[in-house]
Structure 1
Amino acid sequence: MRYYSYDEFLQDVKSLIKRIDEDFDAIVAISRGGLTLGHFLGEYFDIRAVYTINAIGYEGQKKLACVTLANTPDLSCHKRVLVVDEIVDSGDTLQQVMDELKSKFPDIIYKSAALFYKPSARYRPDFFVQYADEWIDFFWARDLHDTHD
């Protein structure tokens, strides 16, 4: 298990920003892990249309048998949408989210971004920063529960 600090996150978001060489008019963050990244990218690119879609595919570190989606946003007014998550592990979540959005809003151009990508995943994001080969313990999951301050 690898601890991933805020400082690393900030550095990687800046690296990801340099890789995103296209314009988007909306961001969809996959909740919960993609929320922080979606917020930062929205701030940097001055995109106020930052939405979320709920996807539940894990319980702690245990992968569930299927991904459950809820709260698909209405993207009908948008032309180019960036879908973001913190990590593409198996790729099941991102694949299902992309399929859902494309089926409901087929005329939109979609791209995806993540901080981490596992090459064994069934879906490769268009933009990513690091490869992952172990469980990533993100600062937002660990630091709030750390009582040793």
Structure 2
Amino acid sequence: MKDFKEDLRTLTQKIDQNFDAVSFDAILGIARGGLSMAQFLGEYYDKREVYSINTIGYDDTQKNDTVEVFNIPELKSAKKVLIVDDIVDSGDTLVEVLSVLNEKYPNVTFMTASLFYKKTAKITPT
């Protein structure tokens, strides 16, 4: 737990450097890795609008060709949403989540953050 708190502290510093933290209305955690982060960040930034979204990109240990995104929260009243996950590996999940959310909510600005990411990922969290 101590390492997780330290990682979150580092992440909040990056978020504070890259974004005006006061400007985002909501935090969206990608289940499962982003759920604890979303809750902690909601507390840290005093945001009551904390949501989750689900994805399936693996069948047991085998990576699927596509990422299924479901349980999409209602974000119509939000203007800026911070999407969080624990790690961006290939980037497929984050790319698909952003695609689905941008299509459903074209007037919402989505920002991304993760504790870890691979430099080979398709997308780098902002």
TM over 0.5: same fold?
Answer: yes
Aligned partner of residue 87 in structure 2, secondary structure: strand
Gap regions ≥5 residues in structure 2: none
Moved over 6 A (4+): none
Calculate percent identity across the aligned residue pairs: 47
Which residue, out of 1, 5, 22, partners 1:10? Answer: 5
> Given the alignment of the two structures, is residue 63 of structure 1 paired with residue 63 of structure 2, yes or no?
yes
Within 2, Cα distance between the matches of 1:70 and 1:35?
A: 15
Deviation (angstroms), 1:8: 1.3
Q: Give the secondary-structure state (helix, strand or coil) at the position aligned to 2:39.
A: helix
Distance verdict in 2 for CA 1:65–1:86, change over 3 Å: same
Residue number in structure 2 paired with 1:107: 107
Note closer, same or farther for the CA distance 1:89–1:10 as it changes in structure 2 (3 Å cut).
same
Aligned residues: 121
What residue is the counterpart of 2:89 in the other structure?
89
- What SS class does the counterpart of residue 7 from structure 2 fall into? helix
1:46 aligned counterpart, secondary structure: coil
Q: Which structure 1 segments of 5+ residues have no match?
A: 1-5, 127-149
How much has 1:61 moved relative to structure 2? 4.2
**Which whole-Å CA distance do the structure 1 matches of 2:31 and 2:103 have between them?**
20
Q: Which amino acid is 1:89 matched to?
A: D
What's the TM-score, normalizing by structure 1? 0.77
